[in-house]
Amino acid sequence: MAKITLTGFGEVEAQLNKLLDRSMIRQVVEAGARKAAEEMRSNIEAAGHVRTHSMLDNVRPGAYHEDIGGGSMAVYPQDNDRKGTPNALKAFVINYGRGRRRTARTGDKFITGKLAQTEKAVQAAMQEESDRILAQINK
């Protein structure tokens, strides 16, 4: 019977373990969340929904959640304004409007109307972070 001995797989295994590390997934998700927050801030400014800067200044990623398929972070305006109104509620009402009463300032879809553009920017940021990590691993 023939016997085959292969060498060099230890190095490949070490690279794969680094590649499949949960911290890498988290880094990629966080890069995408930072880009999504940046996009949301620019959408708020472009739509002219800035008075006190409370909603604009509090747009940031929420907590990181991990599951079997990967990880996720929600990006939205957090905290309350000086009157105690949740910034997320203000963003929701401005985006969707109040029932059938729509005005020029509410229901303008400043968040949901630009989802495709935001999604492309987030995917590009995540791909860039992934490529940076892979280049670091392969050194």
pLDDT of residue 6: 47
Structural element, H or E, at residue 75: strand 70-77
Q: In the prediction, which pLDDT does 128 show?
A: 95
Cα 26 to Cα 28: distance, rounded to the nearest angstrom: 5
How many other CB atoms sit within 10 Å of the CB of residue 43?
20
Is 79:58 a contact under the CB 8 Å cutoff? yes
Tell me the pTM: 0.78
Amino acid 3: pLDDT: 46
Half-sphere exposure for 107 (CA within 13 Å, toward CB): 8
Q: DSSP secondary-structure letter at 22?
A: H
pLDDT in single tens digits along all 139 residues of the chain: 454 444 555 665 565 555 567 788 899 999 999 999 999 999 999 988 888 899 999 999 999 998 887 889 999 999 999 999 999 999 998 888 877 666 656 677 888 888 889 999 999 999 999 899 888 877 7
* pLDDT at 5 (0 to 100): 45
What residues contact residue 19 under an 8 Å CB cut-off, 6+ apart? 134, 137
Residue 94 pLDDT: 87
pLDDT at residue 102, rounded to an integer? 62
Q: How much is the pLDDT for 104?
A: 59
Please state, in angstroms and rounded to a whole number, the distance separating the CA atoms of residues 124 and 127. Answer: 5
